[in-house]
């Protein structure tokens, strides 16, 4: 078993309710730090599980048992240059060189805000590229893929069906 870190953003419960924290604890979120910020419930998990996919899926189910709605899983898949550097452990300068093809070829292009001063990249695409170059651990690539798939499922379905874990595990095994 390994400890996996991720955050679930949730809604649908009033933090002023006396039983607010107890609901999450009793539902199986005893390995999460709970806060309420910017109008949403934030659960920062440190969950032990066989795999990252199983950790995310079991935390998702626990949040639902608490009576909350899962809005998304973080870290988000859209990242800035600074976030790429932070997640990969490389310098911002190194990442800038990659994006300008001055150090390595075929770095993924931005997917959002392409024409702005602050473009955003798809983290799973960047993670794949960095992994292939030996600059990122496989577990970080897997986590990037699993989080993106989980959020795609949440966006498509709102409440995810029973095959949620299977879908995440399929992405994890790819």
- For the cut 90, the answer to whether the pLDDT of residue 158 exceeds it is no
> Are 166 and 147 part of one and the same domain?
yes
pTM: 0.86
pLDDT, greater one: 171 or 84: 84
Domain count along the chain: 2
Work out the angle at residue 87's Cα, subtended by the Cα atoms of residues 92 and 73, and round it to the nearest 5 degrees.
135
- CATH number of the domain at 160, please: 3.30.70
- For the cut 60, the answer to whether the pLDDT of residue 119 exceeds it is yes
> Are 146 and 69 part of one and the same domain?
yes
Q: What is the pLDDT of residue 159?
A: 54
Give the helix ranges, DSSP H, for the chain.
20-27, 52-65, 81-88, 92-99, 123-132, 138-157, 164-173
Q: What is the pLDDT of residue 76?
A: 87
Domain assignment of residue 102, given as a range: 78-136
> Are 70 and 144 part of one and the same domain?
yes
- Can you tell me the distance from the alpha carbon of 128 to that of 72, in angstroms, rounded to the nearest whole number? 22
Write out pLDDT tens, residues 54-92: 999 999 999 999 999 999 999 988 999 999 999 999 999
> Are 11 and 69 part of one and the same domain?
yes
> Are 7 and 60 part of one and the same domain?
yes
Write out pLDDT tens, residues 84-112: 999 999 999 999 999 887 777 899 999 99
> Are 50 and 63 part of one and the same domain?
yes
CA distances from 104 to 107, 119, 130 (A): 7, 19, 10
- The token duo for 2 is 């390994």
> Are 66 and 144 part of one and the same domain?
yes
């Amino acid at each position: 078993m390994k400890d996996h870190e991720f955050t679930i953003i949730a809604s649908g419960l009033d933090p002023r309710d006396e039983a607010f924290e107890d609901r999450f604890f009793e539902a199986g979120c005893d390995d999460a730090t709970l806060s309420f910020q910017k109008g949403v419930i934030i659960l920062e998990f440190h969950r032990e599980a066989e795999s990252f996919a199983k950790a995310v899926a079991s935390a998702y189910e626990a949040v639902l048992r608490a009576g909350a709605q899962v809005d998304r899983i973080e870290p988000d898949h859209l990242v800035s240059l600074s976030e790429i550097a932070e997640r990969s452990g490389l310098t911002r300068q190194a990442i800038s060189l990659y994006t300008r093809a001055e150090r390595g070829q075929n770095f993924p292009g931005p997917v959002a805000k392409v024409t702005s001063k602050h473009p955003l990249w798809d983290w799973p695409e960047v993670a794949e590229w960095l992994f292939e170059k030996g600059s990122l651990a496989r577990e970080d690539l897997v986590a990037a893929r699993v989080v993106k798939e989980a959020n795609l499922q949440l966006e498509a379905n709102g409440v995810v069906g029973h095959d949620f874990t299977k879908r995440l595990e399929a992405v994890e095994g790819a």
